[in-house]
Structure 1
Amino acid sequence: MFLSFSRPLSVIQAVIRNLFHSLAQERGPYMRHIKRTFIVLLTVALLLYSVAYVSDFNFKTFTFPQAWLNKVINQINYTTINSTLAVHTPNDSLQIQQRGTTVAQTTDIPVYYHVAHPSNYHFILDEPDKCKQNPFLVLMVPVAPHQVDARNAIRRTWGNESSVQGKTLLTLFLVGLTGGPEAQQQLEEESRQHRDLVQSNFVDSFNLTIKTMVIMDWLATRCPQANYSMKVDSDMYLNLENLMSLLLAPNTPRQNYITGMVMWDRPVIRDKSSKWYVSEELYPELKYPTYLLGMGYVFSNDLSKKLVEASKVIKPFNIEDAYVGACLKQLGVEPSSPPDPSKFKAYLGQYIREDFFRVITTILGSPQQLIDIWKDVKRPT
């Protein structure tokens, strides 16, 4: 799919070139006027056709499918990969530029693979000194810029924990572009107040794969000394005592280790009406490699750099947790099932206090629910 943009354009160029040569044989001022008008109209028509061909745009809706967005981003990368990468926010006030990362960008890698590679992006807000305290575990939370309530709920609950079982913890939030100067100013003020925000200059929409790989890049470049890291969504309850017990167990590997809610033999969704649709061109296999559900997975921190390396050669697609699984397969690393798989729970259903003593992670319905449950779980028995 990523290469399909060049095909219709090359066809357009060839058609126009041949038509021009054919009409050039005619003579007379009237014919010259007809030639100019006809070529302009034909060019516009063919360009509109190419847009429809590339984008699969549905004129019945105003939504932009992920496949369409990936094509647009890829075309931007294709035309500017060796210079400034200009991707504009809705107000065209910010530009995305390439930056250095742990892996050098080379010209022998197909350019469309670099959509998800962190070298395409740089940090606007950063906390490069946070890891001077040598944290044992770093919790990285991808969240939208406007989701202040979610961040504040985490700051009041598990994100406020700095030491568990004698080990240092660090919680940081990763956001993309805000889309406007006022929102950006508010985010910068929040950053000054809490010192826990990392912002990169990718467009924060439909880009969970990019966001995840930027998280890996931050861990690899800013916090390589951490023992473990966890990518955890902003709507999650996190039991740090249970998590730390897992990581401190003598049989827990210290390298090439990643665990969570393991997904085996999951079919690739080909239904275009599904939010999880992935085209054959993006991912041709019928099933994904084994991966961890994106709600929350913990890994030995050596994997962050290795995953960034793998993203150079793994074609990006929009299912971010499955994409990480594809990178792990490239590395030859098999996700590990936790000793007790029930500790990584998607949903617990009706609230029962004792259930939250047993899990490591579970999805909640709102920031307020996280606050309420945390208070109840932490109250003296």
Structure 2
Amino acid sequence: MLRRLRRHSSTVFVFLLFLLPMYLGILYVLKCGDPFIDNYIVQRDREPLEKYQTFLAVLVTTSSNNIEKRDAARETWLTHGNTSSVFKRFVVGIASADSSEISRLNRENREKGDLLLLPDVHDSYITLSLKVLHMLTWLDRNVDFKYVLKVDDDSFARLDVMEKELRQRNGETLYWGFFHGDAKVPKEGPLEDRDWLLCDRYVPYALGGGYVLSADLVHYIAANVDSLKLYRSEDVTVGAWLGPLDIKREHDVRFDTMNHSRGCSNQYLVTHKQSEKEMRKKHNQLKTRGRLCETEYRKAKSYVYDWEVLPSQCCKKKRGII
């Protein structure tokens, strides 16, 4: 009898030592969700316990397979400026991702800690407007910030200069970028947009390679999320959402955000359509020589937006503008 009790006591001890923590862990996950997954995937209908505090938020739209582009950004322009006052996330839609893809993204996030995974967004060009809507809504809900820079993963940004200039604005309402006002609505081809019925041209919008929104504009979008129309291009869509508002739209030629880079200028704040090699070259130039370009050059003409005329007359390209 005594031996049986001793064997029973040993079994209980083994259960308590090895199996009980596992059992309690399973109960926790069933009740509360996986704490690791919760850190990386947007949770539906869950209020944050506390908002992250920052001055400038940076949201980089990327796709699951673009890890080389993300690494290039991490090693170059995302290291500039006061990194303690900048909140950074690479945004990926995972609605179509399989389990191996999710595992790969989680491994990357364990190492880098800078992905924002959207479970309700299929990652493709035609869903980019929805992606921007979800990520701005998430940002409004989870982060206390003053401004957000939205950029593509093939853009190079001068965070140090941008943050310095934004701090001088004292939190003013701002929609800042390189504006397009005379864009015709494509009726065929890969950019075909049959949903735009307002007029024969798009309303003025900042090009999507990179633009800045103040927190109050992001809050406006998040507060009206159920009523907002999505169009083919995300930058067109943001311009349409903000179209009726009496806000400061600041066209800045230092945003090189057209569908091809206009060249290289040491004044550029955002340069779109950059390869990983070009990002590293610009980064090294800044570190060693304090300037962006080895040699400044211009491949395409630019324009100063004329807000005093109709949008169809706004954007006359001229030589001599960076």
Would you call these one fold, judging by a TM-score over 0.5? yes
Q: Does 1:285 find its partner at 2:230?
A: no
Question: 1:337 — aligned with what?
Answer: 250
CA distance in structure 2 between the partners assigned to 1:350 and 1:210 by the alignment: 31
| CA separation of 1:334 and 1:290: change in aligned 2, threshold 3 A | farther
Please name the residue that 1:199 is paired with.
Answer: 117
- Displacement of 1:162: 6.2
Q: Distance in 1 between matches of 2:248 and 2:204?
A: 7
For 1:186, the aligned partner's letter is R
1:373 paired residue number: 282
Which residue in 2 is equivalent to 1:154? 73
Secondary structure of the equivalent of 2:241?
Answer: helix
Answering whether residue 105 of structure 2 is matched by residue 187 of structure 1, we say: yes
Aligned to 1:172, the other structure's residue is in SS state strand
- Give the 3 Å change call, closer, same or farther, for CA 129–163 of structure 1 in structure 2: farther
Shift of 1:312: 2.5
1:147-204 deviation digits (Å, cap 9, x = unpaired): 101111111012234616xx71121111011622212111011111111111012111
Unaligned runs of 5+ in 2: 1-40, 291-322
Cα pair 1:311 1:327 within 8 Å, conserved = no
What is the rounded CA distance, in whole Å, between the counterparts of 2:215 and 2:203 in structure 1? 21
Partner of 2:176: 259
Match of 2:137 among 214, 217, 223: 217
> Aligned equivalents of 1:350 and 1:197: distance in 2?
30
2:240 is matched with 326
Moved over 4 A (4+): 128-131, 347-351
AA aligned to 1:207 is T
* Residue deviations 1:355-378 (CA, integer Å, cap 9, x gap): 2x3110011331222112211221
Preserved CA contact (<8 Å) 2:174 2:250? no
For the 8 Å contact 1:161–1:169, the answer to whether it is kept is: no
Q: Percent identity?
A: 22
- Letter of the aligned partner of 1:342 in structure 2? V
TM-superposed deviation, 1:282: 4.2
**C-alpha separation in 2, matches of 1:289 and 1:131:** 34
The residue that corresponds to 2:27 in the other structure is none
Q: Distance in 2 between matches of 1:189 and 1:130?
A: 25
Could you tell me whether the CA contact under 8 Å between 1:344 and 1:359 is conserved in 2? Answer: yes
Structure 1 residue 284: Cα displacement: 3.8
State the distance in 1 between where 2:175 and 2:78 align.
21
- Structure 1 residues 155, 348: CA separation in 2 closer, same or farther (over 3 Å shift)? same
Instruction: Supply the AA of the counterpart residue of 1:343.
Output: R
| TM-score, normalising length: structure 1 | 0.58
**1:283-328 C-alpha deviation (Å, 9 max, x unpaired):** 3421212211111111111211211234432322211111111110
CA contact 1:291–1:335 (8 Å) conserved in 2? no
Structure 2 CA distance for aligned equivalents of residues 278 and 360 of structure 1: 30
Equivalent-residue separation in structure 2 for 1:214 and 1:297 (angstroms): 17
What do residues 68-111 of structure 1 show as CA deviations (whole Å, max 9, x unaligned)? Answer: xxxxxxxxxxxxxxxxxxxxxxxxxxxxxxxxxxxxxxxxxxxx
Retained in 1: the 8 A contact 2:80–2:160?
no
- Asked if the contact 1:137/1:168 (under 8 Å) is kept, the reply is yes
- Shift in CA distance, 309/285, structure 1 to aligned 2, threshold 3 Å: farther
**What amino acid does structure 2 have at the position aligned with 1:294?**
G
| CA contact 1:139–1:172 (8 Å) conserved in 2 | yes
**TM-score normalized by the length of structure 2:** 0.68
2:145 counterpart (201, 216, 226):
226
CA contact (8 A) 1:257 1:299 kept: yes
Superposition CA RMSD, Å: 2.6
Letter in 1 for 2:234: E
Change (3 A) 1:349 1:297: closer
